[in-house]
Amino acid sequence: MDDASIEAELIRRIALGQRDAFDELYARYSRPLFSYAFKFLKDRMMAEEVLQDAFVKIWRTSPRYNPALSRPFSWAVLVTKRLCIDRLRRLKPESIVADPMELQSNEATHSHERNPAEAVATKEEVGRLRLMLERLPQAQKDSLSLALSKGLTQQEISEKLNMPLGTVKTSMRRGMQRLRQLMSHCYE
């Protein structure tokens, strides 16, 4: 048996709750997954936390693993990558304000660095964007507002709005398409 077959069997056994299979998979994957997370996040402590979360997720989702869709290691890397992305999304840089619709940036907050005409144009843009956002159906407006103002992931928005994840994804996609349409009409 090749490594992928052995690892797929380990995942099958993990799905049955066999701790020894989990320990063996951990021994095989912990170093490369930690290395991946560390390169992605550039922070040792966060990488260690993501690694732990990844193995918890592997344990919990092992019954849904399908070897026909991906190799075991590829699946584990994907689990880790998604957790890294979620971790980065949760970090809130100092430059993000409570209402990102204000389009403030580090440069913009220094009035002496800003051209007055540029400030007026930005204010007009923000006003147009707010008006367009108000014209969206409620579900699209709610999901996009939570993503923009709170930085929530689609999963978090799904939980907060008590909507199925697929509905949130569709709502956000349609909302963005509609905003693009509305914006394009503003500049014709």
* pLDDT-above-90 percentage for the chain: 40
Residue 61 has pLDDT above 50, yes or no: yes
According to DSSP, residue 66 is labeled: -
Instruction: pLDDT band for 96, please (50, 70, 90 cuts).
Output: very low
Complete domains list, the chain, with CATH: 3-90 (1.10.1740.10), 100-186 (1.10.10.10)
DSSP summary character for residue 38: H
Averaged confidence pLDDT in the chain: 82
Q: Is 11 helix (H, G, I), strand (E, B) or coil?
A: helix
69-84 residue pLDDT tens: 999 999 999 999 999 9
Burial 158-187 (b: 16+ CB within 10 A, else e): beebebeeeebbebbebbeebbeebeeeee
Q: What is the mean pLDDT of residues 30-52?
A: 94
| Both structure tokens of 133 | 């956002």
Q: What is the mean pLDDT of residues 99-127?
A: 55
